[in-house]
Structure 1
Amino acid sequence: MLKENLFKLSLMAVAMTGVVAVNDAQAQDEAAKDEKVVITGSRIRQSQLATASPVLTLSREDIEKTGLTSVADVLQKMSASGAALNTRFNSSGNFGMPSDGGGVGAGGAEVDLRHLGSRRVLVLVDGRRWVSGASASGVSGAVDLNTVPLAIVERIEILEDGASSIYGSDAVAGVVNVITRKDIDGWEMNASYGGFGDFVTGIDDGDTTSIEFTFGAVGARHSIVSSFSHVDQNVVFSKNRDLADSPVEGTGTTRGSSATPTGRFLYDDNGTTVNVTPNDGASGLLNFPTDFHNFTDDDRFNYAAYNLYVTPSQRTNVFTRAKYDLTNTVSFFAQAMFNNRKSQNQAAPEPIFIGPEAGTGGIADTVSIDVTNPYNPFGVTLDENNFIFAGRRPIEAGPRSYSQDVNTYFFTTGFEGSFDIGDSPFYWDASMSWGTNRATQLKTGALNAARIKRALGPLAECQADPLCVPLNIFGAGSITQDMLDYISFTQKDVSENKIQMFAANITGDLFEMPAGYAGFAAGYEHRVQNGFFEPDVIAASGESMGIPASPTRGGYDVDEYFIEAMFPLMADSSGASMLELTTAVRRSEYTTTSDVSFDQTTTKFGLLFRPMTELTLRATMAEGFRAPSIGEFFNTGARNDATLTDPCLNSANETRCEQVWGPMDFVALANLGQTQISVVTGGNDQLSPEETESSMFGAVYSPDWFSGDDFIEQMNFELSFYDHQIDNAIGAVDAQLQLNECVVNGNDDFCNGIARANGVGITRFDNGLQNLSRIETSGSDFKLSMISQESDLGRFKLTWRNTFVNEYTQTVFGQSSGDLDGIEFGSNPDRAIPEWKYDLTLDWAKNDWSASTTMRYLSKIYESCSDFLDNTPNSLANLGLCSNPNFSDNSLSTNIMDETYYFDAQVSYATQIGGFNSVISVGARNLFDQDPPRCTQCDLNGYLPGIYDAQGRYWYVKFSMRP
């Protein structure tokens, strides 16, 4: 199939070359033809920039004013962006793997539009689909934008509308098209340095250095541009941010781990539950009960101090694009890029959770502590007959470290050109692309559960292994280096995503209508995508004390055909009034490596009406789809340790719990204090594509009131209303929803797959991926831009972009979530949808000076303020962490993450240095040191890193030079 399509594509390119060669003698000045351009959201060349779909363009100048060093950070500041992975997320699997099989994306960065998830945003580079990311923990269905360096970006076009009929799968919430730099004649250098700095608090960390060189040459028949860039972002430790590290903020000791540095042990002693931990300072050979005390929540371990607040990342990129005009109408082009990312995450020492209630679903649940173990202080064997649970945090081993090394290669080559038929010009291109994203991750501080079992078991079994060293998990500093050497290992995981594409497109005028020429675009694309995830053999076998991992391998190929047409239905002689209809249809035919086939046909219709010169009205209706990702199709199993509230801890639900699971020990359940529960999911190669319906209508108003105005030169208003509905949304049933439906609402259908051990804690959920839900969201965007006249005060530009979310609901098996906008929900990563976001930017320029300041606003977010310590002295309400506490029933307490404002500013001065044109810029992000609102339900660092900036003021200086 691959060779056949290559051959077809080659024949097409040769045929087109022959056609344009015939017309070469009559070729006219190409500059006139180039007045028509292709804008993201349509493949038809057109002369007007206003289209039926809204497109936001961020120029290189706009990007430089932010002082940011990554494409993802720029896009995540937009008002239409939702919570997406970035370098403020510090999770490499210590909470588990997501159900989609895509891995945690450690060190990566993505973009989310309309809060519909990164997998529902299509990322293009120069109009071509980009390779998905890989961070050695799965096969992702989303693009890691750290693979696209800012150094190569000319502009970014964001289509804020569905476009599957134009681009195929994934273009559900919108499309991000990164346009690279092309016609550069000369060279330029840009460098920046910045970091968090505060003279009052003494914060000084997170230094980031960026340097880039760009060279280009333009000749009579050729152009070439090359770029080299390197970004080095240093670490920020959670212990250096009080919001992330302080127990008072709800993320420290009282909300920490029950696996303590001295050990916690629960077992049944002839009907009495023993729940103890060694006394402070107790070490050596301990005696029970004299060296122990009853475990309390004050004994919990504060793992936050080991976490990272901003993860370190080094990104190096080399990029080259060349174009050569073979004739006046035919050009050859080639584009190549290599990107390397080295990044790191860190977590507290890997906990040793053992016993039937450990809930790992693996070997650790079968570990016993034998009476012959020389360090066992209890004088009895703890096994399946009496053992409940034990937790020990081996701080002697140091923190877990996850180091990623990610290489991305992308190469495109092809031909493009034009020809005339009569008076009508036609433009064509034929290209081939190959992309690979391959990642390896090394985890140090990993523990082998099988060896722990042997080292804690019968002494004779340990002695039979010449390497085995009996393990002492009782008391402070009890684990020696010899013990660590036996139970520790270095874990190596690998994952990869590959894409191959072969495409041919043509666009031009079909025929003349009374209001103008009807335009069209048509094309064919053959795409092959493959991916795999190979976890370390110990992790794959279930012998790791950490999260077990299952291998993933698979792929699919797709043939796609599309046609798009634009019909000018009405136009007056002055051009003030016009009506235009656009329509598109795309056929996509998929075949997976498991021989599953499916087809999808999508359509789109758009209207553009200009009743007068100043006013443009537009509307679109579109069908869309998202094919299941490789991880969703072929993942053989993923475990996620979700932070849940067990409703069986509420005495009102005890009868229902025993009805479902039989006799239960509610005292042992309360003593267990279970917060993280394993949820096991897996892929499904029988999944159907997600199907979407999108609509948009709006207006663009550019009044001419200001003609001759002494101050305002131009003003534009833009208002758009959007609506998205996704059916057959792929996912696993939310574990908390499933648990609540089973217990609280008495729905037996939701109890399937929830397992408990010995009538105590939940040991696992079994819920694989399904086409199970509907997602509906609607809202509006309002944009205002104003440019002033040049005056003695300089020139001003005002830009105000707003996004309002009217509704966001998820319906699973007929159960509606209710409206989620303005509410914190979900986990890993934690999600929230502000009802209103805006950014207001004021730019100023005069002579050699320029300045820019931006105010960003996020409306308040509500969250539950309840967890497993409700109705205790350490409940969130009793600690004073809830803005709306309910002291009679802590479970009804809520917290408000208040309205948040961020101010960014930059001042620049242009001058000559050594005869070269230079610009020096100084700026600050979060100028007034706004702290992110405290989140009591968030898993790490006490705030929502996908929504808010990191704590601290960030200063930077930039320098650029060119001839």
Structure 2
Amino acid sequence: MNAPCRHPLVAAVALCLLGASLPAAAQQPPTADGQQDGRSATTLDSVQVTGTRIRKAEIESQTPVQTLTREDIDRTGLTSVGDILQSLTGSGSALNTKFNSSGNFGFSPNGDGVGAGSAQVDLRNLGAKRVLVLVDGVRWVNESSASGVGATTDLNTIPLALVERIDVLEDGASSLYGSDAIAGVVNIITRRDFDGGQVTLNYGQYGKGDGTQKGLDLAWGMNTERSNFFIGASRVEQEPIYASTREQSRFPTPGTGLTFGSSGTPRGRFILIDPNTGAELDLTPNQGDNDPFYDPAQTGCDRTDGFHCFATADRFNFAEYNMLLTPSTRTGVFGQYRFYFNDRVQAYAKVLANRRESVNQAAPEPLFLGADAGTGNAIADGMFVSAANPYNPFGFDLVSVDDPNTPQNDINLVMIGRRPVEGGPRVYEQNVDTRYFAAGLEGRLDAGDRSWFWDANFSTAKNEARQTNYGSYDIRNIAIALGDPAVCAATAGCVPLNVFGGPGTLTPDMLAWIQPVVRDRSEQTLDVFSANISGDLAELWAGPLSFAAGAEHRRYEGSYQPDALTVAGFYNGVPSLPTSGDYNVSEAYVELNVPLLKPDTFGKSLELSLAGRYSDYSTFGSQFTPKYGLRWQVADELLLRATYAEGFRAPSIGELFGSASRADLQISDPCLIGLDGSAPRGNPANCAALGVPTGAVQANSQISVTTGGNRDLEPETARSFTTGLVFSPGFASGASWSDRLDLELTFYRHSLEGAVQAIDAQTQLDLCVQTLDPLYCDGITRSSIGGINSFSNRLTNLGSIKTDGWDANLFWSLPETAAGRFKLSWQNTLVTRYQAVGAAGQVQPRAVGIEVNDSAIPDWTSTARLDWRRDQWNASWSVRHISELKEECGDAVAFAVCSNPADGTNTLPATTYNDLQVGYRFDWQQGLQLTAGVNNLADKDPPICLSCSLNGYDASTYDIPGGRYFYLRADLRF
């Protein structure tokens, strides 16, 4: 399909008075030609900046680009590219190692796996898959975490030690870089010109003595007349922090005790209908005379058969097994060699190898069996427990599937919830290997008084992941061991299973029969061929007409292969099926920079930027994306810019070809009595029409939702607009009180159509109950008891996402005095709108100032930093601010922790973090820099989040609860 090409040039001209940019001081990256080592006469005298393909001796980006220098990176005290980028004010919620995802989140609603152990970046709250990550201007391969085929880049595959700087372009850039650049581009520039050696040691730890991070970086480089060589190695070790060590994360939901604990308990919960009396029983075993949970007044019933009625006090606290920070070890080696044939041609080669070893842990895996188990697994939902099973205490068959031919065997097993703590917690170990190779030629052609710059490049990269899962169960073997003892006796290795006797009653032989080791694997590869040329086409009346043009061919391959047990449907955990696919794309682009006015006619300069890219995909056809920009240098003090761009994102391999998989989501069923005993909020008549009997209770807040790929998906299309100004007043330059002052204001707007996404599951369920419309209700089925036992929520091209806001920044350098030299920066992002609407008009819950689905869109985020330097001392103080948020209390509305019970919402107060760093440089060798710092100096806890899936806070927005982070760094150059 072809995207419509719009031409809003008139609007862009009218709005150019607010043109967008960063101050020139923030946009002066090191040259790409090695001038730092004095070879300017023998190398390419051009500058390549992120946001334009045009190479000239002097050029500034047409779009706002934020540059993080090596000094900026070191100032954070962080050891992950992903963590650094997530701290930017324009970044949204994205996965990181504070998400203990495996075993809890299930598969992403986008059908691309859980991404365990990875770190991603989201710009403008449009999602990590809509950010393009480049390394030295070339695409990086997508992640692989052995749980699916992801659509995003894992920044933990890029060692921080090889990074020279990071350019962040927060504007649509599909015309320049192709698919995925809807929200912006992150371009990671690697170290190249390096003479000598460097050793860097990092050590950090949280104030409570845990979460230790250790790092060692080695770098060595050599420059000669005709070559330069750089090699670096890095190792980072991050130790875990357990949820049980922090007050806020010790229970499933802070301030609610065990109310939102699990029905899957070590002693077991048994909901059944006595076929002799017709009474519905909800029982759990007593622990003996000293049973702390057995209180007839509390449990509501007093029995003499060793059981009592299940109550809140019997629920299981799974939170104490979770991690606040998942352990990770990253080891990487990077090398780069560049040879200069002469002053016009050079060749380069790059190689990288990186290994990530990470671990996630969840509570011992529960067994949910019976008609109302809701697992989506036919064996578990249809479980049969024989009366002849030697451990069955009830004396009758427990039947989950109604057999019309045997009336006496009507359904009487509603649910068994038993958590075999004897098998230990679920542990997921990931090993991710990244291999990368790139080679190319760069040159300069001289034609008269003009120079044209060209390059030809090839790169190939692969991410390969293996995940080993300990602590899960084989549901088929469980069914055999609970069923007819004669069948079990005839099956090699089978021993009857005791799920009724409480903790300690599963013997090693029982566990050996039901507990396998599960192994999954996945991989993604990316091959890129590209060629580019840039220079001045002609001399126009107002200046040179500059251009860039190029062609690129890419091939993507991806696959995910779950364990054979999972494929067969016998895995008790989150089910999934294999995924594999590939596609290729061929592209061509052109970019023009047209001077419109002679210097000093109406200001210093006025330039028009035009760009367009044609893309041909093997999966869906062709796409054309244009971009327009105006840059008006009104005076030396004032720069005005505006850009308009159309963009697109092609569906990924996982989104197109992903097989059905399951996500376990926190959902409140409006037709059922809440976990806190609250009355159903759904229309009673509609709930009855859906088959929900009066008085039905929601047993668990986690509902299994099935999602998967869709081969009929179309590309997402987008329109992006930025406009703003940069003002560098002359009275603040070279003054007694100021060396330089830059004020920057940028307005952005993104409009996305046909977003590839599943409708929010809670929204779908609520609309089903409200309307009974098959559009929402198809795919949601219920058991005869009323609980949801299947929920299909497939990917589709949803309606639209629209967001806009402002960036307002200040950069101030003060003159050097006897007290030293100070610099102040203050960066702010204000989001004024975010609205996502489904294809049928369903308003999705994400919005500005709202916390939902473990992510947030604060209306204001701000970072202020004061830097100081005097002689060999340096220091910095950073203040990070996140504005107030609101969330739905859900079933927690009855608790004091819900701050606004009248309207059912909870306020997450504004949060401010303070970070402090101080350093001293010794004149030893080429320099020894010692640095000490503390992040979250005031030991600020994040606000309590009642709707978050784990640990009681939003791990993508806030720091870990309850802990200052102290770190030391030693950096020796020689």
TM-score (norm 1): 0.92
Q: Residue 282 and residue 222 in structure 1: after superposition, are their counterparts in 2 closer, same or farther (change >3 A)?
A: farther
- Mean alpha-carbon deviation: is it higher for 779-788 or for 45-54? 45-54
Amino acid in structure 1 at the alignment position of 2:484: P
Task: Output the CA distance in 1 between the equivalents of 2:256 and 2:466.
Answer: 31
- Secondary structure of the structure 1 residue equivalent to 2:940: coil
Task: Give CA deviations for 1:349-391 in whole Å, capped at 9, x if unaligned.
Answer: 0101101111122111111211001011111111022111110
Residue 581 of structure 2 corresponds to 554
- Mean alpha-carbon deviation: is it higher for 380-389 or for 701-710? 701-710
1:626 paired residue among 615, 636, 649: 649
Task: Give CA deviations for 1:29-50 in whole Å, capped at 9, x if unaligned.
Answer: 9549855411111100145554
Task: Output the CA distance in 2 between the equivalents of 1:856 and 1:251.
Answer: 30
Q: Is the 8 A contact 2:50 2:61 kept in 1?
A: no
Task: Give CA deviations for 1:95-117 in whole Å, capped at 9, x if unaligned.
Answer: 31113232110000000001111
Residue 496 of structure 1 corresponds to 523
How far apart are 1:295 and its partner, in Å? 0.5
Q: Residue 206 and residue 924 in structure 1: after superposition, are their counterparts in 2 closer, same or farther (change >3 A)?
A: same
Asked if 1:218 corresponds to 2:233, the answer is no
Residue 162 of structure 1 corresponds to 172
* 1:607-686 matches, cutoff 5 A: 607-649=630-672, 650-651=679-680, 653=682, 655-658=684-687, 660-662=689-691, 664-667=692-695, 669-670=696-697, 672-686=698-712
Q: Is the 8 A contact 2:757 2:796 kept in 1?
A: yes
1:946 paired residue among 956, 959, 964: 956
- Mean alpha-carbon deviation: is it higher for 546-555 or for 469-478? 469-478
Residue 95 of structure 1 corresponds to 105
Asked if 1:883 corresponds to 2:899, the answer is yes
Amino acid in structure 1 at the alignment position of 2:132: L
Task: Give CA deviations for 1:546-579 in whole Å, capped at 9, x if unaligned.
Answer: 1111110001000000001000111325995210
Task: Give CA deviations for 1:322-345 in whole Å, capped at 9, x if unaligned.
Answer: 000122211110000000000000
Asked if 1:408 corresponds to 2:424, the answer is no
* 1:389-538 matches, cutoff 5 A: 389-474=415-500, 475-538=502-565
Residue 358 of structure 2 corresponds to 343
Residue 85 of structure 1 corresponds to 95
Task: Output the CA distance in 1 between the equivalents of 2:973 and 2:681.
Answer: 73
Task: Output the CA distance in 1 between the equivalents of 2:681 and 2:168.
Answer: 51
Residue 24 of structure 1 corresponds to none
Residue 625 of structure 2 corresponds to 602
1:929 paired residue among 939, 947, 953: 939
Q: Is the 8 A contact 2:384 2:398 kept in 1?
A: yes
Residue 769 of structure 1 corresponds to 795
Task: Output the CA distance in 2 between the equivalents of 1:310 and 1:652.
Answer: 36
Amino acid in structure 2 at the alignment position of 1:588: S
Instruction: Tell me the matched-pair count.
Output: 906
Q: Is the 8 A contact 1:244 1:251 kept in 2?
A: no
Residue 902 of structure 1 corresponds to 913
Amino acid in structure 1 at the alignment position of 2:843: S
Superposition CA RMSD, Å: 2.0
How far apart are 1:590 and its partner, in Å? 0.6
Q: Is the 8 A contact 2:422 2:503 kept in 1?
A: no
Amino acid in structure 2 at the alignment position of 1:370: S
Q: Is the 8 A contact 2:826 2:864 kept in 1?
A: yes
Task: Output the CA distance in 2 between the equivalents of 1:336 and 1:129.
Answer: 15
Residue 337 of structure 2 corresponds to 322
Task: Give CA deviations for 1:166-195 in whole Å, capped at 9, x if unaligned.
Answer: 000000000000000011011111111010
- Secondary structure of the structure 2 residue equivalent to 1:83: coil
- Secondary structure of the structure 2 residue equivalent to 1:175: strand
* 1:373-392 matches, cutoff 5 A: 373-384=389-400, 385-392=411-418
Residue 66 of structure 2 corresponds to 56
Amino acid in structure 2 at the alignment position of 1:434: T
Q: Residue 252 and residue 529 in structure 1: after superposition, are their counterparts in 2 closer, same or farther (change >3 A)?
A: farther
2:871 paired residue among 847, 851, 862: 847
Q: Residue 314 and residue 707 in structure 1: after superposition, are their counterparts in 2 closer, same or farther (change >3 A)?
A: closer
How far apart are 1:665 and its partner, in Å? 2.5
Asked if 1:146 corresponds to 2:172, the answer is no
How far apart are 1:685 and its partner, in Å? 1.1
Task: Give CA deviations for 1:647-693 in whole Å, capped at 9, x if unaligned.
Answer: 1125564543355434x3333x21x4231111111211111000001
How far apart are 1:290 and its partner, in Å? 1.8
How far apart are 1:282 and its partner, in Å? 8.4
The alignment-based identity, stated in percent, is 45
Task: Output the CA distance in 2 between the equivalents of 1:296 and 1:436.
Answer: 51
Gaps of 5+ in 2: 1-38, 295-301, 401-410, 673-678
Task: Output the CA distance in 1 between the equivalents of 2:734 and 2:173.
Answer: 40
Residue 311 of structure 2 corresponds to 296
Q: Is the 8 A contact 2:42 2:342 kept in 1?
A: no
- Mean alpha-carbon deviation: is it higher for 688-697 or for 274-283? 274-283
Q: Residue 50 and residue 76 in structure 1: after superposition, are their counterparts in 2 closer, same or farther (change >3 A)?
A: same
Q: Is the 8 A contact 2:848 2:859 kept in 1?
A: yes
* 1:743-758 matches, cutoff 5 A: 743-758=769-784
Residue 10 of structure 1 corresponds to none
- Secondary structure of the structure 2 residue equivalent to 1:206: coil
Task: Output the CA distance in 2 between the equivalents of 1:686 and 1:766.
Answer: 17
Q: Is the 8 A contact 2:763 2:845 kept in 1?
A: no
Asked if 1:280 corresponds to 2:287, the answer is yes
- Secondary structure of the structure 2 residue equivalent to 1:705: helix
Residue 14 of structure 1 corresponds to none
Task: Output the CA distance in 2 between the equivalents of 1:945 and 1:236.
Answer: 13
Q: Is the 8 A contact 1:211 1:231 kept in 2?
A: yes
Amino acid in structure 2 at the alignment position of 1:949: D
Q: Is the 8 A contact 1:94 1:547 kept in 2?
A: no
Q: Residue 256 and residue 248 in structure 1: after superposition, are their counterparts in 2 closer, same or farther (change >3 A)?
A: closer
How far apart are 1:507 and its partner, in Å? 0.5
Q: Residue 691 and residue 247 in structure 1: after superposition, are their counterparts in 2 closer, same or farther (change >3 A)?
A: closer
Residue 37 of structure 1 corresponds to 47
- Secondary structure of the structure 1 residue equivalent to 2:213: strand
Residue 73 of structure 1 corresponds to 83
Q: Is the 8 A contact 1:82 1:114 kept in 2?
A: yes
Task: Give CA deviations for 1:433-474 in whole Å, capped at 9, x if unaligned.
Answer: 000000000000010000000111111111111310111111
TM-score (norm 2): 0.91
Q: Is the 8 A contact 2:845 2:852 kept in 1?
A: no
Amino acid in structure 2 at the alignment position of 1:310: L
How far apart are 1:244 and its partner, in Å? 0.4
Task: Output the CA distance in 1 between the equivalents of 2:64 and 2:288.
Answer: 65
How far apart are 1:86 and its partner, in Å? 0.5
Q: Is the 8 A contact 1:444 1:489 kept in 2?
A: yes
* 1:165-180 matches, cutoff 5 A: 165-180=175-190
* 1:111-150 matches, cutoff 5 A: 111-150=121-160
- Secondary structure of the structure 2 residue equivalent to 1:254: coil
Task: Output the CA distance in 2 between the equivalents of 1:758 and 1:134.
Answer: 40
How far apart are 1:422 and its partner, in Å? 1.2
- Secondary structure of the structure 2 residue equivalent to 1:253: coil
- Secondary structure of the structure 1 residue equivalent to 2:941: coil
Task: Output the CA distance in 1 between the equivalents of 2:375 and 2:55.
Answer: 57
Task: Output the CA distance in 2 between the equivalents of 1:130 and 1:708.
Answer: 43
Residue 8 of structure 1 corresponds to none
- Secondary structure of the structure 2 residue equivalent to 1:146: helix
Task: Give CA deviations for 1:841-888 in whole Å, capped at 9, x if unaligned.
Answer: 100000000001100000001011122xxxxxxxx34431111123xx
Gaps of 5+ in 1: 1-28, 198-202, 868-875, 887-891
Q: Is the 8 A contact 1:661 1:759 kept in 2?
A: no
Q: Is the 8 A contact 1:251 1:941 kept in 2?
A: no
Q: Is the 8 A contact 1:248 1:879 kept in 2?
A: no
Q: Residue 466 and residue 605 in structure 1: after superposition, are their counterparts in 2 closer, same or farther (change >3 A)?
A: same
Task: Give CA deviations for 1:617-649 in whole Å, capped at 9, x if unaligned.
Answer: 100110000000100000111111111111112
Q: Is the 8 A contact 1:94 1:546 kept in 2?
A: no
